[in-house]
């Protein structure tokens, strides 16, 4: 991770000492982070910890009070309107609740960004819509309206719309809200696959623990507006951060499961050590 730190040639996002408040209430306090390319970068934390505000700062919907956000090494605050517009076209967003247009079909919903930002003709646009629909396993759903499809399918349409312009950056705010655990996992897997396949810098806000364990390559844990912990899903098991543990392993059952897993992993490490000793 350190290796990325000074290499701004990558399509990554760097956050430096971001602070954001509303009135006299500070909501984001001196948060610094690197969102890595080709990875799912997770922002986790309880409701109200500042995840959405941080994400809105990242995409430029909120102006931070201080600090800087770099896209590919370029400071967001120094971008002119033209550069910001260009950046906007490289950003895909999956909003909470999918935010589809109810009066438009699936096809029209996904075509919308193409209508807005490209000069492609209808046949070209339809080809691209069908490509992304296929990618999210929703072939033949073109003519359906949002009201006619399930919550999981709506998310898939939302993802298809978010990636239709081939974004470099993908932002998903609580992609699993309102979904059952199994469908949530499918959506997580899809987001992760797409991230790797297209080498996207993906940022996901979540408080879903399955997501964290499944997709969390690079996790930022927010606690009351502060970055309390940072690491990977593998490191979470061993973390001694009390607040993080209370958040992740909220129930006694999960706390026991964590202890078991730690013992198991420790057993493996000790075993390997013994083998190393024997080989010496």
Ligand X SMILES: Nc1ncnc2c1ncn2[C@@H]1O[C@H](COP(=O)(O)OP(=O)(O)O)[C@@H](O)[C@H]1O
The 45-74 contact track toward Mg ion, x by CB under 5 A, reads: ------xx----------------------
List the interface residues with Mg ion, window 28-47 (CB under 5 A).
none
The residue among 126 and 226 lying less far from ligand X, judged by its C-beta, is 226
Stretch that binds ligand X, among 43-51, 189-197, 229-237, 239-247 (CB under 6 A): 43-51
Q: Residue 218 interacts with Mg ion (CB under 5 A)?
A: no
Using CB under 6 A, pick the residue from 37, 52, 184, 206 that binds ligand X: 52
Residue 247: left if φ>0, alpha if ψ -120 to 50, beta else—which one?
A: alpha
Instruction: Enumerate the β-bridge partners of residue 40.
Output: 202
Largest CA distance in the chain: 71
The 54-83 contact track toward ligand X, x by CB under 6 A, reads: ------------------------------
Please, what is the minimum distance in Å from the beta carbon of residue 216 to ligand X?
16
d(CA 157, CA 152): 9
Which letter, b or e, does each residue of 127-162 get, where b requires 16 or more Cβ atoms within 10 Å of its Cβ? ebbbebbebbebeebbeeebeebebbbbbbbbbbbb
**Residues listed for the chain:** 280
The residue among 44 and 132 lying less far from ligand X, judged by its C-beta, is 44
Stretch that binds ligand X, among 44-52, 141-149, 160-168, 231-239 (CB under 6 A): 44-52
Q: Residue 146 interacts with ligand X (CB under 6 A)?
A: no
Neighbours of 22 (CB within 10 A): 10
User: In which element (H, E) is residue 27 found?
Assistant: strand 25-35
Minimal CB distance residue for Mg ion: 52
Q: Residue 45 interacts with ligand X (CB under 6 A)?
A: yes
The residue among 48 and 267 lying less far from ligand X, judged by its C-beta, is 48
Residues 6 or more apart in contact with residue 123 via CB below 8 angstroms = none
Residue 60: left if φ>0, alpha if ψ -120 to 50, beta else—which one?
A: left
Q: Residue 175 interacts with ligand X (CB under 6 A)?
A: no
The residue among 32 and 89 lying less far from ligand X, judged by its C-beta, is 32
The residue among 52 and 233 lying less far from ligand X, judged by its C-beta, is 52
3-state secondary structure of 265: helix
User: In which element (H, E) is residue 35 found?
Assistant: strand 25-35
The residue among 48 and 267 lying less far from Mg ion, judged by its C-beta, is 48
Q: Which residues bind to ligand X, rule: CB under 6 A? A: 22, 27, 45, 47-53
Q: Which residues bind to Mg ion, rule: CB under 5 A? A: 51-52
């Amino acid at each position: 991770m350190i290796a990325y730190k000074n290499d701004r040639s990558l399509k990554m996002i760097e956050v430096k000492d971001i602070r954001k408040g509303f009135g006299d209430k500070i909501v984001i306090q001196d948060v610094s982070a690197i969102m890595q390319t080709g990875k799912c970068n997770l922002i986790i934390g309880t409701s109200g910890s500042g995840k959405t505000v941080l994400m809105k700062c990242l995409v430029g919907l909120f102006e931070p009070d201080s600090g800087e956000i770099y896209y590919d090494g370029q400071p967001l605050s120094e971008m002119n309107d033209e550069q910001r517009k260009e950046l906007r076209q490289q950003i895909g967003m999956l909003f909470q609740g999918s935010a589809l247009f109810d009066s438009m079909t699936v096809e029209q919903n996904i075509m919308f960004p193409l209508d807005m930002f490209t000069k492609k003709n209808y046949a070209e646009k339809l080809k691209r819509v069908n490509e992304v629909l296929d990618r999210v396993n929703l072939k033949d759903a073109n003519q359906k309206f949002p009201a006619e499809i399930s919550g999981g399918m709506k998310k898939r349409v939302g993802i298809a719309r978010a990636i239709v312009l081939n974004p470099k950056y993908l932002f998903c705010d609580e992609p699993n809200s309102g979904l059952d655990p199994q469908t949530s996992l499918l959506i997580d897997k899809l987001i992760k696959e797409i991230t790797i396949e297209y080498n996207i810098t993906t940022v996901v806000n979540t408080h879903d623990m399955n997501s964290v364990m499944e997709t969390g390559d690079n996790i930022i844990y927010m606690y009351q507006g502060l970055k309390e912990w940072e690491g990977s899903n593998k490191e979470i098991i061993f973390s001694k951060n009390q607040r993080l543990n209370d958040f992740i392993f909220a129930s006694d059952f999960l706390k026991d499961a964590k202890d078991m897993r730690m013992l198991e992993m420790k057993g493996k490490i000790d075993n390997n050590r013994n083998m190393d000793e024997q080989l010496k």
